[in-house]
């Protein structure tokens, strides 16, 4: 299974990792590991995650952190378009779907 992380999702991830690093480098490492685990789960079993928007957008929650990963799935490709802090307005990530 191929995984594509859109640039804006990568930016969100980098910003969150930097924020955690500034507070505690060990927590940053935990965050990175939790996101990597979630991404592996998505690529291993994309259809097990619930559709949360429209007919294709799926979501997984990053364990231990207030983040969700929103993605779409086609035959052999998972596209991550947001690694999103759950406290933000969901209209931000919804505006990226097109």
46-93 confidence digits (pLDDT tens):
999 999 988 899 999 999 999 999 999 998 999 999 999 988 877 776
- How many C-beta atoms surround the C-beta of residue 20 within 10 A? 18
- How many C-beta atoms surround the C-beta of residue 29 within 10 A? 13
- If DSSP codes are grouped into helix, strand and coil, which group holds residue 53? strand
pTM of structure = 0.91
Token look-up 């291993």 returns 44
Question: Helix 7-23 crosses helix 25-44 at what angle (to 10 degrees)?
Answer: 150
Q: Domain 2-94 classified CATH 3.40.50.150? A: no
Calpha distance 7→41 (Å, rounded): 20
The pLDDT assigned to 90 comes to 73
Paired tokens of 4: 């594509």
């Amino acid at each position: 299974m191929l995984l594509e992380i859109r640039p804006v999702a990568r930016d969100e991830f980098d910003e969150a990792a930097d924020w955690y690093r500034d507070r505690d480098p060990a927590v940053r490492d935990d965050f990175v590991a939790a996101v990597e685990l979630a991404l592996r789960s998505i690529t291993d079993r994309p259809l097990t995650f619930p559709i949360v928007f429209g007919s294709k957008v799926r979501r997984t929650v990053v364990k231990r952190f207030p983040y969700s990963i929103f993605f779409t799935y086609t035959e052999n490709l998972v596209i991550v378009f947001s690694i999103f802090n759950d406290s933000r307005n969901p209209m931000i990530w919804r505006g990226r779907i097109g």
